[in-house]
Structure 1
């Protein structure tokens, strides 16, 4: 007998799960109030880094590597094969731990001269640079839409509506009520208000900036990069949008999902200063674009993949993904299928409870600027 599920939310996590379950033969109803990949989601920017380095965390290194395979299976054009470079400011920091784990798992990595990767780079403050040559740059918005569309092609029903929980049911703004064997709420930052009684999420304002550069800075010839101890990340010019710089300090809290998304002048100055320091030839490069995202962060910045404690495994929460959901989404959905079906227990680190501690291990910010 076919199992049925309602998945609420068509960001990367919800679309990954709807796609996975539909292709496995589940009866899937996929609910989204806007459209897959819309600009107000946490997955609303055009691009993301896909890399396996996660310090000494082997679980997430394996899962990210698997997700990269699944993105390429979905559509090879979604991933630009640029690689990702890690600027290590310490000999024994996050990057060295990542290097050990990647080597143990057989994931390609090597220490390189950054001058061979970038048209202009200042490495005076670096202990070494670690390159993941098989990592890449994901066309994120296109990826979410491709997942959601493949789910429909596999039999999922897409419903455009605002949804709210009513016990084990989903109530839509037009009065319809959806019921299924399972309900999964994967609605990003909106989960903070819907499930405040069981779920702790910080919703923050985060900025990314795009700067004009000449053709030497085009991806995939120029890789993505992460400066963990410098709390910054970025990539070469992907699809002509400009060189991307993201200050990864934790932004201010967001009180309303309807807030206007205006970039912070202070963080623009931070991005410009970092660009001038790390890539001297781009000092004074013009700002050609920007984006405001909203992160939904758990206390330990790990995902929430957990049954709601009140409904005996019929209602699940899937979230806490901003900042790293694209690196794991399709692989997390692959694992979650068995958790929902009850054939395996979910990873304890993703469940609800007081075991979560505050750290920043999964983000690209090892310190505050």
Structure 2
């Protein structure tokens, strides 16, 4: 007998689950109020770093590595083979933990001279630079749509509507009521309004900036980069959009439904100052673009992927990307299928219970 599912939300997490279930033979209805990969989706933008480094955390290291394989299986062109460089400001910091974990998990990495990677780079505050040569840059918006479209090609029905929960049912704004064996709610920044009684998420404004750069700064060529202790990440000029600098500071509270998507002045100041500090040749280069999105942050920055306490295995909540969703999406969809069917026990740290404050998975800083 064919199993049925309703998946609400067509961001990367919802699309990953809809795609996985549809390709496994489930009857899937995929509900989205706007469109897959829309401009208000969480931790979106046109590009995302896909890397395995997660400090000492082997679970996320392996899951991100698996996601990279699955993105490339979907379409090799979705991932630009650029590598990702980590600027380590301490010998015994997060990057050293990552190096040990990557090695234990069989993921290639090496310490390199960053002056061979970037046309201009400041190194006097660095202990070393760690390169993940097999990491890459995901064309994020396009990749999200590709997942959702593959789900449709596998038989999923895409429904454009606003949805709200009614016990184990899904009620649409046109009056339709959807029922299925399993309902998965993956609504990103809209989750607190729907399920704030059982989960805790902070929604913050995150801004990314694009600066003019000469041709030598093109990516691939220039790798993606992360400065964990400096709370910033970015990449070179991918597809002519400009060199990307993204402050990973904890942004102000944000309402994804009503918020004006204007970049925060302090975020822009941070990005300009970081660019001048790390890549001196680009100091004062013009800003040519910017984008505001939002993160849905859990207390410990681990995902939420758990059954609703009142509905058991019939209703699942999936979210809390905390900026990590694209690094793990397809792999998390794969695991969700196993958890939903009972083939594997759900990951307890993704549960709905109390969590201890921990931001170690993010390159988080303060303004």
With normalisation by structure 2, the TM-score equals 0.99
2:75 aligned partner: 75
Q: Is the 8 A contact 1:189 1:203 kept in 2?
A: yes
CA distance in 2, matches of 1:316, 1:125: 45
CA distance in 2, matches of 1:74, 1:312: 32
2:100 aligned partner: 100
1:305 aligned partner: 305
Q: What CA deviation, in whole Å up to 9, does each residue of 1:109-158 have, x standing for no partner?
A: 00000000000000110000000000000000000000000000000000
1:43 Cα deviation from its structure 2 partner: 4.2
CA distance in 2, matches of 1:144, 1:322: 17
1:257 Cα deviation from its structure 2 partner: 1.9
2:357 aligned partner: 358
Q: Unmatched 5+ residue regions in structure 1?
A: none
Pair 255,36 (structure 1): closer, same or farther in 2 beyond 3 Å: closer
**Residue 139 (structure 1) aligned with residue 139 (structure 2):** yes
2:120 aligned partner: 120
Q: Unmatched 5+ residue regions in structure 2?
A: none
CA distance in 2, matches of 1:210, 1:27: 42
CA distance in 2, matches of 1:58, 1:194: 32
Q: What CA deviation, in whole Å up to 9, does each residue of 1:231-278 have, x standing for no partner?
A: 000001110000000110100011452211000112111100000000
CA distance in 2, matches of 1:14, 1:312: 19
Pair 102,44 (structure 1): closer, same or farther in 2 beyond 3 Å: closer
Q: What CA deviation, in whole Å up to 9, does each residue of 1:206-241 have, x standing for no partner?
A: 110000101000000000000000000000111000
1:253 aligned partner: 253
Alignment of 1:38-57 (within 5 A): 38-57=38-57
CA distance in 1, matches of 2:88, 2:75: 32
2:291 aligned partner: 291
Q: What CA deviation, in whole Å up to 9, does each residue of 1:73-119 have, x standing for no partner?
A: 00000000000000000000000000000011110000000000000
1:220 aligned partner: 220
2:111 aligned partner: 111
1:233 aligned partner: 233
1:368 aligned partner: 366
Pair 173,143 (structure 1): closer, same or farther in 2 beyond 3 Å: same
CA distance in 2, matches of 1:151, 1:43: 21
Q: Secondary structure at the match of 1:257?
A: coil
Q: Is the 8 A contact 1:297 1:320 kept in 2?
A: yes
CA distance in 1, matches of 2:47, 2:11: 14
Q: Is the 8 A contact 1:43 1:140 kept in 2?
A: no
1:301 Cα deviation from its structure 2 partner: 0.8
Q: What CA deviation, in whole Å up to 9, does each residue of 1:12-59 have, x standing for no partner?
A: 000011000000001100000000010011143100000000000000
1:358 Cα deviation from its structure 2 partner: 1.0
Q: Higher mean Cα deviation, 2-11 or 249-258?
A: 249-258
Alignment of 1:5-84 (within 5 A): 5-84=5-84
1:368 Cα deviation from its structure 2 partner: 2.8
Q: Secondary structure at the match of 1:328?
A: helix
With normalisation by structure 1, the TM-score equals 0.98
CA distance in 2, matches of 1:292, 1:132: 28
Q: Higher mean Cα deviation, 323-332 or 338-347?
A: 338-347
CA-atom RMSD in angstroms: 0.8
1:364 Cα deviation from its structure 2 partner: 2.1
**Residue 149 (structure 1) aligned with residue 149 (structure 2):** yes
CA distance in 1, matches of 2:322, 2:173: 26
Q: Which structure 1 residue ranges, 4+ long, deviate > 4 Å from structure 2?
A: none
**Residue 170 (structure 1) aligned with residue 170 (structure 2):** yes
Question: How many corresponding residue pairs?
Answer: 367
2:324 aligned partner: 324
Q: Secondary structure at the match of 2:52?
A: coil
